[in-house]
Every structure is written in C-alpha cells, then in structure tokens.
C-alpha cells in the first residue's frame, strides 16, 4: 500500500510542509525509519533522533521549528495521526467467526448473546451469561454465574471465577486471573485460619487488564475496577480495592486490600501501596514508590513516598554525601582529630 504525503495530510487534517507528491510506503519510529517511511515527533527529549532520522515524512506538532530535511505534516496530535496511518500499513486484525468450537465445554444453562465466539477448550460454567459479540479465547475459564458484557475480548488462558461482573468492551489478556480469593487469614489457636472471601469482582466498561495480572475477589462486597481503567501486565489488585475511572496502573505494581484509588490516577511500574489508604483523584505516583499514607493529590516519589520536589532535593543531597564526607575528613585532618 502506498500513499502520497498530500493524501496523508488530508487524512489527518494536517498542514503539509514539503513535497506533496512524495510516496510513503511504511511507518516506523524515528530511530528505525528508512526512506519511504513516515514517523512522528512529539517530545523535545527525542530531538536528537529527529535530526538523525531517515524518515521521508514526519508528523510534528504545530509550530515545530526544528530544521529538518524530511517533509513535515503538522497536526495537533502527532501520536494519534501516526497511529491512524500505521494501522493502514499493518496486517488486518485477526478475526474469529461466531460460534462455539466443538471442544469447548458449555453448561446447558449458559446464556450466549448474538455473534459470540467461543474458542477451543474454553469452559463456561453454569449460570454464566456472555454478551453479544464477545470472544472467549482458547483455554479460558468463565465461572458459575459470571456475567460478561458485549464486545469483550477475553484472550486465551484467562480465568474469570464465579459471580464476577464484567462490563462491555473489556479486554483481558492471557494469564490474568479475575476473582481469586483475597489474601485473608487470622491466627486462631496458633494456626493461620482462612477468612472466607465471599464477595465479587466488578469490572466496568472499557477496562483493559494486562497479561498475568490478578484481581482478587472481595472478602465481602466487591473489588471494583471502574470505567476506563487501564492496568498493565503483572499487577496485583487485592480484595476490596476500588480503582477510580480512567486511572492507569503500570507493570508489577501492587495495591493492598481495601485501598481506594481515585479517578485519573497514574501509577508507575513497581509501585507498592499498603492497605486501607485513599489516593486522591489525579495523583501521580512515580515508579518504585512505596505509599504508606493517604495521598491528597500531586506528584509523589520515593519509599516512603514524598512530594516529588522534596524527593528530588533528597536525591541531590545523597549524591553530595561523598564530597561532604571528604570535606569533613579534610577538616578533621587540619584540626588534628
């Protein structure tokens, strides 16, 4: 497939600076692009890549003043415009025909919507309901009385345990476990006794959950992932946690039981949060931070986490300690100590 830069500018409602007849045959990052490719530029920290790229054309933000030889297409959102073009060059998405594979095990009481696709070796237990246009991947398990909404994509080898509630347009990647027992034990007569976990997991519309992520069922009530939340791979969500709308949680983070995370919270990789806390709307937590108290908003970093400006000052102090020790040693030497 080939486009001219004029056609791509029209497609993205962009302003073309350069040759309108230039032919574009592919899309790639600035570092990997070759002649004939289109790329994109959004952040000044990548300006060195912009100057060295071999891309023939580049999506850039309005008012980009960087002198480059490539043809420019100025758009309000270069990342999104590039994605739209990339999809035109990409292979067609894999599709699955509606129907139930003969090797799948479906209880007679299961209710299947229209155009549902159940892939090989999937198991769906009694009382479950699957909405229209949903795909249940090979080897996945859907437990008793679980409800899954319309247009969901459940990838192979996902486990969704009993009585879970999944909204519409939810994506759950391979290896995820939804609704495992919360980690609850109590010492009785010198032994750890299991506390029964009788609640559910509720996942609202337009949520995406990464591979090998776990969302535990509530001890009672619900563990609740609200609308539009995006969760990366290898994340642990404990029992009775609430994640507010449109929050983002990055890989290897862990949230302990009964913590409430507000809306639009951004959480970097390997963040750890102790239980029974409240994280205010719009909070940003940098990677590898440890959260031990309620957060009122703002940007936080460190373990235990502190406001980002304070964390930067502490890091600067630590980096100066070597010079400080040397100065003290020199002073002690002069004083004969």
pLDDT value at position 306? 95
pLDDT at 337 over 80: no
Q: Which two tokens stand for residue 109?
A: 């009481």
pLDDT at 238 over 80: yes
pLDDT value at position 301? 97
pLDDT value at position 39? 97
What does the CA dihedral 144, 146, 152, 157 come to, rounded to 10 degrees? -40
pLDDT value at position 63? 85
Residue 279 in contact with residue 273, Cβ under 8 Å?
yes
Question: CATH 3.40.1390.10 occupies which residues in the chain?
Answer: 3-89
Q: Summarize pLDDT for 189-218 with one digit per residue, the tens.
A: 999 999 999 999 999 999 999 999 999 999
Q: Provide mean pLDDT across the span 226-239.
A: 98
CA dist., res. 105 & res. 47, Å (int)? 55
Q: Provide mean pLDDT across the span 21-30.
A: 96
pLDDT at 16 over 90: yes
The catalytic residue positions are 239
pLDDT at 135 over 90: yes
Q: Which two tokens stand for residue 27?
A: 């899309």
Query: Which phi-psi region, left, alpha or beta, contains residue 192 (left: φ > 0; alpha: ψ -120 to 50)?
Result: beta
Q: Summarize pLDDT for 294-335 with one digit per residue, the tens.
A: 999 999 999 999 999 999 898 899 899 999 989 998 998 888
Task: Classify residue 194 by burial, with Cβ atoms within 10 Å: 0-12, 13-18, 19+.
Answer: exposed
pLDDT value at position 172? 98
Backbone angles phi, psi at 321, to 5 degrees: -60, -40
CA angle 200, 201, 204 (to 5 degrees): 135
Considering the segment(s) 3-89 as one domain, its CATH architecture is 3-Layer(aba) Sandwich (3.40)
CATH classification of 99-308, choosing from 3.40.50.11900, 2.160.10.10, 3.90.660.10, 1.10.150.120? Answer: 2.160.10.10
What does the CA dihedral 145, 151, 154, 160 come to, rounded to 10 degrees? -20
Closest alpha carbon to 237 in 296, 177, 149, 304: 177
Q: Which two tokens stand for residue 175?
A: 């290896």
Place of tokens 């959260």: 291
Closest alpha carbon to 197 in 212, 183, 213, 215: 183
Place of tokens 């983070």: 253
Residue 93 pLDDT class (50, 70, 90 cuts): confident
Residue 64 in contact with residue 43, Cβ under 8 Å?
no
Closest alpha carbon to 152 in 127, 115, 184: 115
Q: Provide mean pLDDT across the span 14-36.
A: 95
Residue 44 pLDDT class (50, 70, 90 cuts): confident
Rg of the chain over all Cα atoms, to the nearest angstrom: 26
Place of tokens 């991947």: 137
Residue 60 pLDDT class (50, 70, 90 cuts): very high
Other CB atoms within 10 Å distance of the CB of residue 284: 18
Place of tokens 């600035």: 30
Question: CATH 2.160.10.10 occupies which residues in the chain?
Answer: 99-308
pLDDT value at position 183? 96
Q: Summarize pLDDT for 257-271 with one digit per residue, the tens.
A: 999 999 999 999 999
Q: What is the mean pLDDT of the chain?
A: 96
Q: Summarize pLDDT for 264-302 with one digit per residue, the tens.
A: 999 999 999 999 999 999 999 999 999 999 999 999 999
Residue 91 in contact with residue 109, Cβ under 8 Å?
no
Residue 336 pLDDT class (50, 70, 90 cuts): confident
Paired residues of 291 in beta bridges: 273
pLDDT value at position 65? 83
């Amino acid at each position: 497939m080939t486009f001219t830069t004029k056609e791509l500018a029209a497609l993205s409602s962009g302003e073309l600076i350069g040759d309108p007849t230039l032919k574009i045959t592919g899309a790639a990052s600035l570092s990997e692009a070759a002649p004939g490719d289109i790329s994109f530029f959004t952040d000044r920290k990548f300006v060195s890549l912009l100057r060295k790229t071999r891309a023939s054309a580049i999506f850039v933000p309005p008012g980009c003043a960087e002198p480059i030889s490539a043809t420019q297409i100025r758009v309000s959102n270069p990342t999104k415009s590039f994605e739209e073009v990339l999809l035109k060059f990409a292979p067609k998405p894999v599709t699955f025909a509606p129907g139930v594979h003969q090797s799948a095990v479906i209880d007679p009481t299961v209710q299947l919507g229209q155009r549902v696709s159940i892939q090989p070796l999937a198991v769906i237990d009694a009382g479950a309901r699957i909405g229209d246009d949903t795909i249940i991947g090979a080897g996945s398990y859907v437990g008793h009385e679980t409800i899954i909404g319309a247009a969901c994509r459940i990838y192979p080898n996902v486990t969704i345990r009993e009585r879970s509630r999944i909204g519409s347009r939810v994506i759950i990647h391979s290896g995820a476990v939804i609704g495992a027992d919360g980690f609850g034990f109590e010492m009785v007569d010198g032994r750890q006794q299991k506390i029964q976990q009788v609640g559910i997991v509720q996942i609202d519309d337009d949520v995406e959950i990464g591979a090998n992520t776990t969302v535990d069922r509530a001890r009672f009530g619900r563990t609740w992932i609200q609308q539009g939340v995006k969760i990366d791979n290898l994340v642990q969500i404990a029992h009775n946690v609430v994640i507010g709308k449109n929050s983002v949680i990055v890989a290897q983070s862990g949230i302990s039981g009964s913590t409430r995370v507000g809306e639009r919270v951004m959480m970097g990789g390997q963040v750890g949060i102790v239980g029974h806390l409240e994280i205010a709307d719009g909070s940003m937590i940098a990677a590898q931070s440890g959260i031990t108290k309620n957060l009122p908003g703002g940007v936080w970093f460190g373990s235990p986490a502190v406001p980002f400006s304070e964390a930067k000052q502490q890091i600067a102090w630590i980096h100066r300690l070597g010079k400080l020790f040397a100065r003290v040693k020199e002073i002690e030497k002069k004083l004969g100590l």
